[in-house]
Structure 1
Amino acid sequence: MARSVIRFADWSLSVDLSGSGPIFESECTTCGESSGTADEKEGPETWCLRHAGRTGHTGFRGITTSFFRAQKVGDQ
């Protein structure tokens, strides 16, 4: 049997600004079609309106992916 030692330390979590910003996507809750990802929310929002006009589907899920970085408190 394997044994592990876990040492506890104080950590903080913050938004990672070193890479890209949030990524936006919309998904139809009726058929599951997706807008694809975009760096700006306007593209996926426009996709929802076009999809609704084309299919009559009216429910959508907005997905925003943000990135975080964990850091030990006291480390700079």
Structure 2
Amino acid sequence: MAERTGWRFVNWVLQLDTSGSGPIYETECTTCGESSEAADDKEAPELWCLQHAGRSGHTGFRALTTSFFRATQVESGGAD
């Protein structure tokens, strides 16, 4: 008797993961590369930029935001 093999294809969706922490914010000087501490809100990294500009005269900054995603299988509505 021959063994029968089948394939099942599954669709996936990528969604923002809100089950853990929210986004993480950080800023970086584009002149010297020094960076702020990571924070749960934008206030501290933005304040760091102003303080760094005052100390160094550097005026360019990069804002880094880290968000988290989760991949989830989506059930198909059709027959197999």
Partner residue in 2 for 1:28: 29
- Higher-Rg structure is 2
What is the root-mean-square deviation in Å for CA atoms of aligned residues?
Answer: 1.1
Paired with 2:20 and 2:27, the residues of 1 have a C-alpha distance of: 22
Unaligned 5+ runs, structure 1: 1-6
Tell me the number of residue pairs that the alignment of Structure 1 and Structure 2 aligns.
Answer: 68
Query: Percent identity at matched positions?
Result: 71
Partner residue in 2 for 1:63: 64
Residues 1-76 of structure 1: pairs in structure 2 closer than 5 A: 8-74=9-75
TM-score by length of 1: 0.85
Deviation beyond 6 Å, 4+ runs, structure 1: none
TM-score by length of 2: 0.81
